[in-house]
A and B are shown apart, each in its own frame.
Chain A
Amino acid sequence: DIQMTQSPSTLSASVGDRVTITCRASQSVSNWLAWYQQKPGNAPKLLIYKASNLESGVPSRFSGSGSGTEFTLTISSLQPDDFATYYCQQYSSYSTFGQGTKVAI
């Protein structure tokens, strides 16, 4: 199985900060990677697919980059609505999620 490792596990930030979350795969997943946002009590919400493609309706302050084994999710200017947990997901070989990154105040 492909393992996905996110860092950091928890991130403390303030409104307006630029935030970067990293996701590393144990082997290449090409660009078959997605990012999700999850808030307590809600299902995950798709933000990015194929590593860098913004899902329809997602604010442009979210962006994704990377390929192979290393990927990043960047929030250019953190907004109050962005405090949540973020997960990466590979879908190159079956599927695996990272362990999550909680973005907190």
Chain B
Amino acid sequence: QVQLIQSGPEVKKPGASVKISCKTSGYTFSNYGFTWVRQAPGQGLEWMGWISAYIGYTSYSQKFQGRVTITADTSTSTAYMDLRGLTSDDTALYYCARVSGTYLGPSEYWGQGTLVTVSS
């Protein structure tokens, strides 16, 4: 079955960077893409960006442009999200989710989420 397993919780200081992994199994990694979505405590869902492992394309929300990098390693079937310049506003649960390989679409499979806490 399709599984997306994310890396564990992170505690970072303001100004630091965080890199979260999303290891997949149960399907052909390179045929699909990944989107990253975050959820601050008690808040709604916020789209950050996506990558197509199929066509090697990335795009990012304007809010995060220049501060986020999403990559995909086909050799390990793992997607990554790197967020730099952390502030307390980046404290959130970060999700990876699978999407189509050819366009940014809805996500039927999600990781369990990775909690990132930014605190001095």
Contact = CB atoms under 8 A, between A and B. Distances in A.
Interface of A: 1, 32, 34, 36, 38, 43-44, 46, 49, 55, 87, 89, 91, 94-100
Contact of B95 (A1, A43, A55): A43
Contacts of B45: 36, 38, 44, 87, 89, 97, 100
A98 B62 contact: no
Interface stretch (B11-19, B82-90, B99-107): B99-107
Contacts of A87: 44-45
Interface in B66-120: 95, 97, 103-108, 110-113
Contact of B46 (A38, A43, A49, A97): A97
Contacts of A91: 103-106
Given A1-B62, A43-B95, A43-B113, A55 B47 contact: no
B31 to A, nearest CB: 18
B106 A49 contact: yes
Contacts of A38: 45
Interface of B: 35, 37, 44-47, 50, 59, 61-62, 95, 97, 103-108, 110-113
A95 B112 contact: no
A16 to B, nearest CB: 28
Most buried by B among A38, A43, A97, A100: A43
9 contacts: A1-B61, A34-B106, A43-B112, A46-B108, A49-B106, A89-B45, A91-B104, A95-B35, A97-B47
